[in-house]
Structure 1
Amino acid sequence: MTRQMTGAKMVVQALLDQGVDTVFGYPGGAVLPIYDEIFQQNGIKHILVRHEQGAVHAAEGYARATGKPGVCLVTSGPGATNAVTGLTDALMDSIPIVVLTGQVPTFMIGSDAFQEADTVGITRSCTKHNWLVKDPATLASTLHEAFHVATAGRPGPVLVDIPKDVQFATSDYVAPKQVNTSHYAPRVKGDLESITELVEALETAKRPVFYTGGGVINSGPAASQLLRELVEATGFPVTSTLMGLGAYPASGDKWLGMLGMHGLYEANMAMHGCDLMINIGARFDDRITGRIDAFSPKSAKAHIDIDPSSINKVIRVDIPIVGDIAHVLEDLLKIWKARGRKTNREALEKWWGRINEWRKVDCLKFKQEGKIIKPQYALHRLEELTKTYDRYICTEVGQHQMWAAQYLGFEDPNRWMTSGGLGTMGYGFPASIGVQQAFPEALVINVAGEASWLMNMQEMGTAIQFRLPVNQFILNNERLGMVRQWQELLHGERYSHSWSEALPDFVKLAEAFGAKGIRCDDPADLDDAIMEMINYDGPVIFDCLVEKHENCFPMIPSGKAHNEMLLGEAETQGVIDAKGSVLV
């Protein structure tokens, strides 16, 4: 039985039928019919952000934390163009979001009408797919298809552009089960012959390593559980990209830490020296590979990914497997167990011996001396004081992001929200709002730099209005930290525009919004200040003044191989030689 309703009502009904409970958005003339329908229902909560970029990042945070698609609603023209950064961020990091945009009436499209923009054209390259709906009869089916495309296969952002006259028009509503989505059915089962070939490689490898990425988390909880089973059963070391943190627990004894440009020494050395690399749900991005011709030069390479376009895109692999991570790992374990659970144990023991030598470098060591807080110490204390809580961590982008990845431990997936591929300053604050909305009772902390945080500071109004007790933990070095570090190391210490001479008083800023402000500049006071933040029932801006010129190590300089890391204190103390050999 079909139901007649307006296009605007179809939008709300489709969201309800898709299980949506939260929409992040900002109204405008071209979406007022939809907002009128939102006003007349109670099934969906609308979170009014202060900027459309914030709406998309909040939807990303919600999606990353829950595993469900995030939804945002913005108006035409500048509303849609303001969403472009968030869309591109979600595309790079494979985050499922559905963005609904208003558009001028169909008869005005192309006339340069007020607040008109070619939204479909503008967002074609930064969405997984997009639609301009000109016929109300196709609106409901398009909306349901959008959710399917956003979540099936490699997740990503989609956009539906809805002209205002289509929102007013009346037509038949189509339920999700009536929509045929078989034309987009990504392959989820891996080729069994290729999986068997990988099992054979596992059985004989002398120096294997699992290289995991965000695809493990995107595949769902089963994939992370299967990864853990595979690692424990084989005894192989495991490392991860920035986006994959939490898929394998940081407390696990097979964990090498994050790899890549600011990854751990043992992780990068293992990648460089392995003879079998098993890439599970990562895309060989440049922050990981470094110099491609020197990347893991002596290894056979396997790559498991649901996106066929990622296979052999950057690094040629010997064993390509297209499929969903959970399905492939399930089959891999079945075949490996059926063949006798074999590994090259003698060689593996020697490999772990080498890895444990690399671990002795202790590449994250630091000294907290004097009255100035080291950023590493701030995050070390944050970890110690919050790790037992039901905790979610977001970050902005820069040095603080890398320190957070290095010093905070993640035991489970979906607890770490950060901008990986696009590196979007201003991501973390609105993302934390999305996470807190999804999990109101959880401890949500956004680790920020003062420069990144200021990019979307207006969202403090959103946090206050909706009583979301997000904690903004700002490592304030009064510098664009990562820019300054590169200028010091690579540009002759010419610090071109890498600091601001007009920073706000963050405590007063918090109070102006009606939030709590905390300032700490003494390491002796840090623990008490962090506990004050945790125990406050409401939004907090924590201004943690840290060493202004601290560099983030380890670091692989641009154009260098994994075994050519800058190590900071470990290097200056003579713990390793020029060839990377451990001297302790």
Structure 2
Amino acid sequence: MRVADFIFKYLADSGVRDVFMISGGGAMFLNDALGQEKRIRTICNHHEQGTAIAAEGYARATGKLAVASVTTGPGGTNAITGVIGGWLDSIPILFISGQVKFSTSIASRPELPLRQLGDQEINIVDIVKPITKYAVMVTDPQKIRYELEKAIHIAMSGRKGPVWLDIPINIQSAEINESDLENYVPVEEKTVLPQDEIAALYRKFLTAKKPVVIAGHGIRLADAVESLDQLITKLKIPVLGTFEGFDMLPSDSPYFSGRIGTIGTRSGNIVLQNADFVLCIGTRNNIRQVSYNYENFARRADTVAVVDIDPAELQKNTIRITDPICCDAGVFLKEFLAAAEASGVPDFSSWLQWSIERERKYSVVPQAEKGMPGVNPYHFTRILTELLPEKSIVSCTNATPSLALFQSGIVKKGQIMYCNSGCAAMGFGLPAALGGAVAAKNGELTICLEGDGSLMMNMQELQTVRHHNLNMKLFLYNNNEYCSIRQTQDNFFEGRHSGCDNGSGVTFPNWKVLSAAFDWRYEEICSAEEAVAKLPAILSSEGPVFVEVKLVPGYRFEPKLSSRRLPDGSMVSASLEDMFPFLPEDEMKQNIYQG
């Protein structure tokens, strides 16, 4: 068989059932072999950025390795934004690229500073090395099993992430005997379980009065959501959601107390800043979460423990960490639960009740003023998520859709909700939703929360969804501008706009006409009342539906962390609990736990 045939046979034997791809001359044997492997469904995108991001969405929805195949030159470079997203958010994706034959590649003449030798060639391996866990050009047909197994092992081990195999066309077509191929044997890493550190941390927990758990995306990556639920049920303490991990705790959980960060919920940040014991599990505490005023993060806490599988994340010069624990989140959860069962758990009911009361008090979402056209995005998102079934998949793009979902969305048990946090690229929502819809083997409803600016970046994937008649409902948050950019320019440049709206050079198409061109059913929602009336029928319908949600003009992202102007005119970064719109001083005092 050919090397190309072996690649996809091996992947199919390993359980891969879907591959995202765009064909190309430099990958022609890969394309042919993929088409011949009947156990794998091929999802043909219309841009390689869509291919890469769809693979990310698939990996997020399944918890498994995703596979993407592209061609040489621009086929590889077009995929880079998706690679970055997977790299920063720890998503396991195997990229397989075609390449010119080795004898006409610059790799064959390393002594020369050539830019290009073969037709449409680019040295993709060196380009993606800084943003992958492993990247290599396969130059020996007999090494294909070794390199495949090595790449997959690396992608799925430790802190997960993307890997890249570049296959020259003469290697793709080379004949091999499968029984002669060398296996990759992983070097057995001696993992030392930090039992002493975990035991010491639990002793601190026993003396705490106001403990909280911050649940990060690393818990889902470790396939440990059930372990989190078991631990929280045992400890009976407040749990706070993170931007990448907020879908793991249902909103009706008796322990849910909000979500944290610069664009978190007011209740989540208030509870965090009152806690004396903060346990961060599987979250890297990025700047969006801890703010630039990170010295004040968990400022009343005697203990700030961070559990992360990546030792580098425990050594950053940002928040104060009293107890760094380098450990897989799933392993830690089981060990901490064992400690709780062995040593018992104090009664934190008063603290828990106080925290839940804060969440209830500040969970009200803003509505459009009477007489104003459109619907407030926070209000619409609350209405929508209240109606979504359990086990639905929700992909959202950045800015308005992701902020509205994070701050006002209702999460139900079994749902998967995701947005890319580290890269935060416009154009993420639709292709990532495509990946989620492909992963929904039992017909689970897939929701795409998309912005008008973002959809313009990858709208071609509407055709991919239509081609496969996927059960996706796309909600276009139409504000007719780049809302986050407009707000930034209003704040910093006295309302001078550049490249953010109609008056400064950015316009959008007629969405009804565009959806018809892609043969999507079209619906329009212009008010909260219409949302309540129309959504049940939309959500229960079959196939793709394009819903244009016309938003109220001029809305702002609130609450959010903002700087305070002091009496002398100087600006100071506010602490996390002090979100804009600022609360009266007497109310802020009421938000200090006195138990």
Higher mean Cα deviation, 434-443 or 312-321? Answer: 312-321
Q: How does 1:339-378 map to 2 (within 5 A)?
A: 339=343, 341-343=344-346, 345=347, 348-352=348-352, 354-356=354-356, 358-359=358-359, 361-368=361-368, 369-370=370-371, 371-378=373-380
Amino acid at match of 1:355: S
Could you give the per-residue CA deviations for residues 370-414 of structure 1, whole angstroms, max 9, x where no partner exists? 35311122112212222x354110001102211012222223466
Residues 472 and 357 of structure 1: CA distance in aligned 2, closer, same or farther (over 3 Å) = closer
Residues 381 and 350 of structure 1: CA distance in aligned 2, closer, same or farther (over 3 Å) = closer
Q: Could you say which residue in structure 1 is the equivalent of 2:219?
A: 216
Q: Could you say which residue in structure 2 is the equivalent of 1:253?
A: 254
Higher mean Cα deviation, 487-496 or 372-381? Answer: 487-496
Could you give the per-residue CA deviations for residues 212-259 of structure 1, whole angstroms, max 9, x where no partner exists? 110011010xx2122122222212111121111122222112111221
Q: Could you say which residue in structure 1 is the equivalent of 2:71?
A: 75
Give yes or no for contact 1:100–1:160 (8 Å, CA) kept in 2.
yes
CA distance in 2, matches of 1:421, 1:409: 23
Residues 174 and 93 of structure 1: CA distance in aligned 2, closer, same or farther (over 3 Å) = farther
Give yes or no for contact 2:392–2:415 (8 Å, CA) kept in 1.
no
Amino acid at match of 1:83: A
Q: Could you say which residue in structure 1 is the equivalent of 2:342?
A: 338
Amino acid at match of 1:318: T
Gaps spanning 5+ residues in structure 1: where? none
Could you give the per-residue CA deviations for residues 525-573 of structure 1, whole angstroms, max 9, x where no partner exists? 2233323422332212111101121112110127432122113xxx5xx
Give yes or no for contact 2:240–2:268 (8 Å, CA) kept in 1.
yes
Residues 129 and 378 of structure 1: CA distance in aligned 2, closer, same or farther (over 3 Å) = same
Q: How does 1:15-414 map to 2 (within 5 A)?
A: 15-110=11-106, 111-173=116-178, 178-182=183-187, 185=189, 187=191, 190-220=193-223, 223-290=224-291, 291-299=293-301, 300-313=303-316, 314-339=318-343, 341-343=344-346, 345=347, 348-352=348-352, 354-356=354-356, 358-359=358-359, 361-368=361-368, 369-370=370-371, 371-386=373-388, 388-412=389-413
CA distance in 1, matches of 2:436, 2:381: 20
Q: Could you say which residue in structure 1 is the equivalent of 2:494?
A: 492
Could you give the per-residue CA deviations for residues 340-380 of structure 1, whole angstroms, max 9, x where no partner exists? x132x3xx345346535644642543234335311122112
Secondary structure in structure 2 of the residue aligned to 1:159: strand
Gaps spanning 5+ residues in structure 2: where? 107-115, 564-572
Secondary structure in structure 1 of the residue aligned to 2:247: coil
1:267, distance to aligned residue in structure 2 (A)? 1.1
CA distance in 2, matches of 1:152, 1:137: 24
Higher mean Cα deviation, 264-273 or 159-168? Answer: 264-273
1:582, distance to aligned residue in structure 2 (A)? 4.9
Amino acid at match of 1:41: E
CA distance in 1, matches of 2:180, 2:207: 52
Higher mean Cα deviation, 224-233 or 555-564? Answer: 555-564
Give yes or no for contact 1:65–1:414 (8 Å, CA) kept in 2.
no
Amino acid at match of 1:257: G
Residues 108 and 461 of structure 1: CA distance in aligned 2, closer, same or farther (over 3 Å) = same
Q: Which of residues 457, 460, 467 is equivalent to 1:458?
A: 460
Tell me how many residue pairs correspond in the alignment. Answer: 565
Give yes or no for contact 1:100–1:162 (8 Å, CA) kept in 2.
yes
Residues 163 and 577 of structure 1: CA distance in aligned 2, closer, same or farther (over 3 Å) = farther
CA distance in 1, matches of 2:180, 2:353: 59
Amino acid at match of 1:181: P
Amino acid at match of 2:17: D
Residues 577 and 506 of structure 1: CA distance in aligned 2, closer, same or farther (over 3 Å) = farther
Give yes or no for contact 1:190–1:324 (8 Å, CA) kept in 2.
no
Give yes or no for contact 2:452–2:478 (8 Å, CA) kept in 1.
yes
Q: Taking every aligned residue pair, what percent have the same amino acid on both sides? A: 28
Q: Could you say which residue in structure 2 is the equivalent of 1:564?
A: 578
Give yes or no for contact 1:67–1:414 (8 Å, CA) kept in 2.
no
CA distance in 2, matches of 1:353, 1:526: 33
Residues 308 and 119 of structure 1: CA distance in aligned 2, closer, same or farther (over 3 Å) = same
Output the aligned Cα RMSD: 2.2
Could you give the per-residue CA deviations for residues 416-445 of structure 1, whole angstroms, max 9, x where no partner exists? 121111111111101111111111511111
Give yes or no for contact 2:367–2:375 (8 Å, CA) kept in 1.
no
CA distance in 2, matches of 1:552, 1:576: 22
CA distance in 2, matches of 1:46, 1:289: 41
Amino acid at match of 2:338: K
Residues 357 and 541 of structure 1: CA distance in aligned 2, closer, same or farther (over 3 Å) = closer
Give yes or no for contact 1:18–1:144 (8 Å, CA) kept in 2.
no
Check if 1:547 corresponds to 2:543.
no
Moved over 6 A (4+): 174-177
Give yes or no for contact 1:80–1:119 (8 Å, CA) kept in 2.
yes
Q: Which of residues 439, 451, 472 is equivalent to 2:474?
A: 472
Give yes or no for contact 2:219–2:281 (8 Å, CA) kept in 1.
yes
